[in-house]
Amino acid sequence: MRPDVDYLVHLAQESARFAEVIAEVPPDTRVPSCPDWSADDLLWHLGEVQWFWGTIVRERLTGEQAEQRKPPRPAGRAGLLAFYRRASGDLSEVLAAVPAAAPAWTWSQDHTVGFIRRRQAHEALIHRVDAELAAGSRSPMDPQLSSDGVDEVLRIMYGGDVPEWGTFTSSSGAVLRLQATDTGQSWLVTVGRFTGTDPGDQARYDEPGIQVTSVPGTGAAASIRGTAADLDCWLWRRPSPMAVERSGDPDVLSAFESMIASGIA
């Protein structure tokens, strides 16, 4: 998390922009970046996500407990918009009222309200982009928020901390650099494989994975460059405003792109 990024301000701004855009999109319009969803499905999704996290923080619940309290989907656009606006306002209010360091249930290894602030700012940003794609009109993305979004998607959404029961094995020489050309921030990413058995549900894992590395002197075999917004959208498998530039070892590029190909909802 970056101290110079005000997640609460961005959450409010991106959530308001989402509501403004989605209200003008016909309910049955397909969302190009989420082809299984209509505009109303997208509206319900972000509404229930914001309700879910607001409820967890306000009521001090686990995810399972909050899920059991989830209200039914409202019927029609008017009901969906009203639900979304209430849930969005409630989320912003409760996150502002509780310190970032306060404990809260999350699905990550970071069990703090600060994690939820950051995650929900980026959730609102990406779904604002989805709404604008459905509307056929894009607006600029804040460079600093987008740069932080690249960091979050690399470190958490794709390359979270390896649990004690798991192992990450890097592929020899499979390191690439992602560089945000407008903010100057860059990330060295190692491509490899995650293996292990979860002692909780006995699920076995043997799948591609990545880790952001900070080893001094680590060289990159390939690079991907673009503005922070371009990289953030590309990593989320959303159309980027401008194409990212790829160079270097094609096998490393292919391995990384295959790993993120399925995207994130």
Tell me the pLDDT band of 216, cut-offs 50, 70 and 90.
low
Whether 74 is in a domain gets the answer yes
SS3 234: helix
In this prediction, what percent of the chain has a pLDDT beyond 70? 97
The mean per-residue pLDDT over the stretch 171-187 comes to 92
pLDDT band at 198 (very low <50, low <70, confident <90, very high): confident
Number of other residues whose CB lies within 10 A of the CB of residue 229: 26
Residue 215 belongs to domain with CATH number: 3.30.1050
**How far apart (Å, rounded) are the C-alpha atoms in residues 18 and 14?**
6
Write the CATH number for 124.
1.20.120
Are residues 25 and 91 both part of a single domain? yes
Same domain for 199 and 79, yes or no, is no
- Predicted confidence (pLDDT) at residue 263 exceeds the cutoff of 90: no
Is there a single domain that holds both residue 98 and residue 169?
no
Could you tell me the pLDDT band of residue 243, with boundaries at 50, 70 and 90? Answer: very high
Residues 121 and 166 placed together within one structural domain of the fold: no
Q: Report the alpha-carbon distance of residue 207 to residue 196 in Å, rounded.
A: 10
The reply to whether 256 falls in a domain is yes
> Quick one: 215 and 118 in the same domain?
no
Residues 16 and 100 in one domain: yes
Q: Among the three residues 112, 139, 166, which one is the final residue of a domain in this structure?
A: 139
Strand duo 166-180 + 222-226: pairing: parallel
Structural tokens at position 94: 């409760």
pLDDT at 60 exceeding the cut of 80: yes
Domain shared by 126 and 176, yes or no? no
- Asked if residue 66 is part of any domain, the answer here is yes
In a domain, 69, yes or no: yes
User: How many structural domains compose the chain?
Assistant: 2
Q: Are residues 20 and 63 in the same domain?
A: yes
Same domain, 13 and 124: yes
Answer with the residue of higher pLDDT: 21 or 260: 21
pLDDT greater than 60 at residue 265: no
Give the chain's length. 265
* Within-domain flag for 102: yes
pLDDT at 229 over 90: yes
Mean pLDDT of 40-57: 98
Q: Is residue 153 part of a domain?
A: no
Mark whether 15 and 113 lie in a shared domain.
Answer: yes
Average pLDDT, rounded, for the chain: 93
CA dihedral in degrees (208, 197, 157, 63; nearest 10)? 160
Residues 112 and 204 in one domain: no
Give me the percent of the chain exceeding a pLDDT of 90: 76
pLDDT value at position 165? 84
- pLDDT tens digit sequence for 117-126: 999 999 999 9
> Quick check: is 147 in a domain?
no
The pLDDT of residue 128: 98
Residue 215 confidence class, pLDDT cut points 50, 70, 90: low
* Structural domain containing residue 118: 7-139
Claim to verify: residue 190 and residue 238 sit in the same structural domain = yes
